[in-house]
Amino acid sequence: MVERILVVNAGSSSLKLRVLDTADAVVASADLGAVRNAADTAEVADAVAGFGRVDAVGHRIVHGGTAFRQPVRVDRAVIDRITALTDLAPLHQPKSLAALGAVSAVLPDVPAVACFDTAFHATLPPAAATYALPSQWRSRWDLRRYGFHGLSHAYAARRAAELLGRSGRGLRLVTCHLGAGASLAAVLDGRSVDTTMGFTPLEGLVMATRSGSVDPGLVLWLADHVGTPPAEVAATLEHRSGLLGLAGTADMRVILERASADDAEAILALEVYLHRLRASIAAMTAALGGLDAIVFTGGVGERSSAIRAAAADGLGYLGIELDAARNAADGDSTDREIGADDARVRTLVIEAREDLEIAREVRQVLGTAAG
């Protein structure tokens, strides 16, 4: 029986380990640096050894490409296929694979399940998933909109249905994962039908250090007229743009403080961030044909009442209206409703719990296998 599940969440610079019991309580945890060398591997081994019994392991894998549309039990063939997708997520996939290898070395006989951030968006309809590119390009290189943060969006949508007392059927949600990385998803009947990220996690919203969507002609102009090397363009769009590029800091708390003191750069950064966010919420609503509830999750989504209020401002025509007192209760970490009582659209704040979604998928896969 699967009672204790180790959830392995490898980010670009960190590795979070959580052991969950049958009640989904965290009974052991460790936050480590990303696995880069033998010393890091030894640190992972020490942490896992201290957790006691582990019955199964769930790994967050950023990219599943078109090969993985649902979680899958890990074996050599699965590892090889995940490795082959590294070119689609060169910053994240190697860290996930390194963590998988380090944990598997300590727990070689414990079943492991790969859970993919792209899998939730595998249900995107062709109109939302397809780029207007030649069919030869699209078929040869699997050029399509994949979407990311799927584990977070899936959990937020499922939890929202619980809080609203709905089964999920017919429920129209926009889930807003706002953190260092940020994306939205349009969720209908519990399935993703649109999202803001695309072929890579660069598309869509303005983020902490990522640009979000830019005119591809701008990138071509930099290459043709300025001679900017592709690697330099990529590094700038990924690591030196977004809020950092606009205001000199990627910390939303600092930007809010500076904006309140009439700092021009901080004010512009907020205006650009919110303009893109509001427009994208409206676009997701259009994909759904209406809206029943909007969900805020992720570090900024959960902890910044100012960003939630500013995002809702100007979206009253969609039926979004917040209750100021409920919204201001940032110290309350409990999943909660912050919308006005008479608002047409309900507004929720939900804690990001990718670990719970991963544990659910592990049970699903191993339960199916056992059956």
Catalytic residue among 21, 40, 117, 194: 117
Amino acid at 97: L
**Residue 355 annotated to the active site:** no
CA distances from 3 to 45, 51, 184 (A): 21, 13, 33
Q: Which residue has the tokens 């303009």?
A: 275
Backbone φ/ψ region at 2: left (φ over 0), alpha (ψ -120 to 50), beta:
beta
Structure tokens at 319: 């039926």
**CA-to-CA distance for 2 and 152, rounded, in angstroms?**
23
Q: Which two tokens stand for residue 67?
A: 């090969």
Sign of the alpha-carbon dihedral angle for 34, 37, 39, 45: positive
- Pick from 110, 96, 175, 210: nearest CA to 351: 175
Report phi then psi at 114, rounded to 5: -90, 125
- How does DSSP assign 161-194, residue by residue? HHHHT--STT-EEEEEEESSSEEEEEEETTEEEE
The answer for 204, left when phi > 0, alpha when psi is -120 to 50, beta otherwise, is: left
Q: Which of 124, 223, 140, 239 is nearest to 180 (CA)?
A: 239
Query: What does the alpha-carbon distance between residue 172 and residue 162 come to, in Å, rounded to a whole number?
Result: 14
**E strands, the chain, in order:** 5-10, 14-20, 26-33, 56-61, 72-73, 112-116, 172-178, 182-188, 191-195, 293-297, 336-337, 346-349
Q: So which residues are the catalytic ones?
A: 117
